[in-house]
Amino acid sequence: MAFFAFFLILCLLLFLPSTNCISSPESQHTQTVRLNHHDTIQAIEDFMAFDAGQLLQESIQVPATTTTTSSSSSPFQGNYIPVYDIDIFLKSGYEDYRSLILFRLARNAKRFEWLSTSLTDSPVVDIPYYYESASYVGIMDIGNPPQRAHLLIDTGSRFVWWDCQPCNNCPTFSYNPSRSSSYRQVDCRMEGECPGNEGLFWGCDMDGNNKCEFKVMYRDSTEAEGFLAYEKVTTTHGEEGGDVVLVENLRFGCAEKSPASMIGKKFTGILGFGPNTYSFIYQMNATSFSFCPKSHTASVATSLYFNSLPIPDDFTFRTPLLQNIQPIYYAVNLTGVYVRWEFLEIKSLTNSDGRVGAVVDSGTSISMFPLQFYNQFRDTFTRHSQWLSRLPGEQFFDTCYNISSPEWYLEVPEIIFQFSGVTGHEVLRLDANQIMMPIGTDGKYCLAFSPTKFRQFTLIGTWQLQGTRVSFDLANQMLQFDPENCKNSPS
């Protein structure tokens, strides 16, 4: 007994408050989290029944006078744009929730293929596998007078483009530059205006109209092309209420040709949030951006805030953004994962030129671990969940379980991510909804993690971050997690 007390005191002195102290298996026998199957099914049914078409239609028209919700309902003040999970607009094209979730996982797999290619020792490939790999849709206004735009938000993209009329394959609602007094085409004759013939930019055209051409060639053989221009971007959700300008002169790609579907022609372009000179977030000189990934069955918007960080509470922690990763991604040092009381050390991405880190990506749904680590993680999880009824794996998962009536709940081992903090280790506890993914509504749940074929590639997906406010503190190069912030606020 004296030895146990000594060990506990030593553990507290060495690790708290930033790290959970795992004393012994006996003292941790309650380290499980519960998933309520009844609540999950009800949320899925409500989500599938929600009429997103009306939501999209209503937000097309910019009202003559704008109103904003009271800031008292928000966790902190700041300018923001409403952001929706993309599946709320896509679900009408699928027979049921199972078909929708499998399509989401297929998008996830394609996006991973792009990310893993660009994070190997091969030359940088910073164009997504295909344009539909984003997970979130942001709503903002373009031009003067404003025209409403629905843009795919992507922390893995470094460029901004949207369709400009007249254009081929235009979405039903697309931007018309001839109606905007704030629109200005980039003139190749002006020194420093055109980036030149590099990467996305193809220099001046040869037709004598002085356009600075761009071309985004996606790896599924689709492409967006046009010319560079400047435009004003605003939001109707200013900190003081009403309209506010986010960027006065945003340099963007005015697309005359874009991928044929743009997911059913519902969205008008891509808003890159990657750490690069041409991204939206860098052009607006933002010191930070912050949002709560909602539950993937949420039918309400979250708020993406600019230049405003939440006030820290007892659950807040910060981890450094790594500087030696590819310059188009956000990465942190994920040092290990707890499965109940067992700690599994993970070696994140390390290449020959010293790049290390676990990528935090808005377009990826589920977290992905290197194969060897994943096998160890999965085997540890199954060893600690032997009371559950196993089912065959799914297309993208190898560890699945059944919940049958009248049980209606699933008790699973707790999973905790451990990060490098400012002065020590920091931990993010996952609840059952972040650990397991329902595959349809028949009671089948799968462990929401996947392996990668790349030996040292780690990816943190939004399924594990849902319900946690994630803040990118660009000024201090930190990533801030607020697990309780989203629970205390509708935004």
Instruction: Give the range among 37-46, 68-77, 104-113, 410-419 with minimum mean pLDDT.
Output: 68-77
pLDDT tens digits for range 385-404: 998 889 999 888 999 998 76
Q: ω into residue 146 within 30 of 0, thus cis?
A: no
Same-domain check for residues 152 and 196: yes
Q: What is the pLDDT of residue 56?
A: 57
Domain assignment present for 292: yes
Q: Which of 454, 444, 450, 491 is nearest to 469 (CA)?
A: 491
Is the pLDDT at 282 greater than 80? The verdict is yes
**3-class SS of residue 29:** coil
Domain assignment present for 2: no
Same-domain check for residues 119 and 151: yes
Burial 139-158 (b: 16+ CB within 10 A, else e): bbbbbeebbbbbbbbbbbbb
Q: What is the pLDDT of residue 20?
A: 40
Is the pLDDT at 371 greater than 80? The verdict is yes
| Average pLDDT value for the chain | 78
Q: What is the pLDDT of residue 118?
A: 59
Same-domain check for residues 240 and 319: no
Q: Using pLDDT thresholds of 50, 70 and 90, give the confidence band for residue 201.
A: low
Written as six digits, the tokens of 72 are 């008292």
pLDDT tens digits for range 207-252: 667 888 888 776 656 778 889 999 999 998 877 667 899 999 999 9
Quote the strand ranges of 309-465, DSSP E.
Answer: 317-320, 331-332, 334-339, 342-345, 349-350, 356-360, 367-370, 389-391, 400-402, 409-413, 415-420, 425-430, 436-438, 444-447, 449-452, 459-460
Domain assignment present for 131: yes
Pick the residue with more confidence: 347 or 438? Answer: 438
Same-domain check for residues 393 and 302: no
C-beta of residue 360 within 8 angstroms of C-beta of residue 325 = no
Same-domain check for residues 219 and 290: yes
Q: What is the pLDDT of residue 19?
A: 37
Q: Which of 182, 149, 159 is nearest to 82 (CA)?
A: 149
Name the region of 27 (left: φ>0; alpha: ψ -120 to 50; beta: rest).
Answer: alpha
Is the pLDDT at 102 greater than 70? The verdict is yes
Q: CATH no. for residue 462? A: 2.40.70.10
C-beta of residue 287 within 8 angstroms of C-beta of residue 79 = no
Domain assignment present for 21: no
Q: Using pLDDT thresholds of 50, 70 and 90, give the confidence band for residue 256.
A: confident
Pick the residue with more confidence: 106 or 433? Answer: 433
Is the pLDDT at 54 greater than 60? The verdict is yes
Q: In the chain, pLDDT over 90 holds for what percent of residues? A: 30
Same-domain check for residues 261 and 399: no
Q: Which of 335, 356, 328, 361 is nearest to 459 (CA)?
A: 361
Q: Most distant CA pair in the chain: distance in Å?
A: 86
Q: Using pLDDT thresholds of 50, 70 and 90, give the confidence band for residue 174.
A: confident
Q: Of 306, 336, 356, at which residue does a domain stop?
A: 306
Q: Which of 214, 227, 221 is nearest to 131 (CA)?
A: 221
Number of Cβ atoms within 10 Å of the Cβ of 34? 11
Taking residues 297-309, what's their average pLDDT?
88
Domain assignment present for 301: yes
Q: What is the pLDDT of residue 204?
A: 77
Same-domain check for residues 278 and 355: no
Q: Of 306, 321, 339, at which residue does a domain stop?
A: 306
Q: Using pLDDT thresholds of 50, 70 and 90, give the confidence band for residue 60.
A: very low
- Orientation angle between helical segments 97-118 and 37-49, nearest 10 degrees: 90
Q: Which of 375, 162, 169 is nearest to 250 (CA)?
A: 162
Q: What is the pLDDT of residue 343?
A: 95
Residue 462: φ, ψ to 5°: -75, -20
Q: Using pLDDT thresholds of 50, 70 and 90, give the confidence band for residue 202.
A: low
Written as six digits, the tokens of 437 are 């993914």
Domain assignment present for 20: no
Domain assignment present for 132: yes
pTM: 0.85
Q: Using pLDDT thresholds of 50, 70 and 90, give the confidence band for residue 55.
A: low
Q: What is the pLDDT of residue 195?
A: 72
User: SS3 breakdown of the chain: % helix, strand, coil, rounded to 5?
Assistant: 20, 35, 45
Q: What is the pLDDT of residue 130?
A: 45
Same-domain check for residues 300 and 317: no
Compute the distance between CA of residue 402 and CA of residue 368 in angstroms, rounded to an integer: 23
Same-domain check for residues 298 and 369: no
Q: Of 306, 331, 365, at which residue does a domain stop?
A: 306
| Structural domain for 407, as ranges | 29-43+312-482
Same-domain check for residues 279 and 387: no
Domain assignment present for 270: yes
- The number of distinct structural domains making up the chain is 2
Taking residues 169-177, what's their average pLDDT?
77
Same-domain check for residues 321 and 459: yes
Instruction: Give the range among 37-51, 146-160, 346-360 with minimum mean pLDDT.
Output: 346-360
Q: In the chain, pLDDT over 70 holds for what percent of residues? A: 73
Taking residues 69-87, what's their average pLDDT?
68
Q: What is the pLDDT of residue 34?
A: 86
Same-domain check for residues 81 and 177: yes
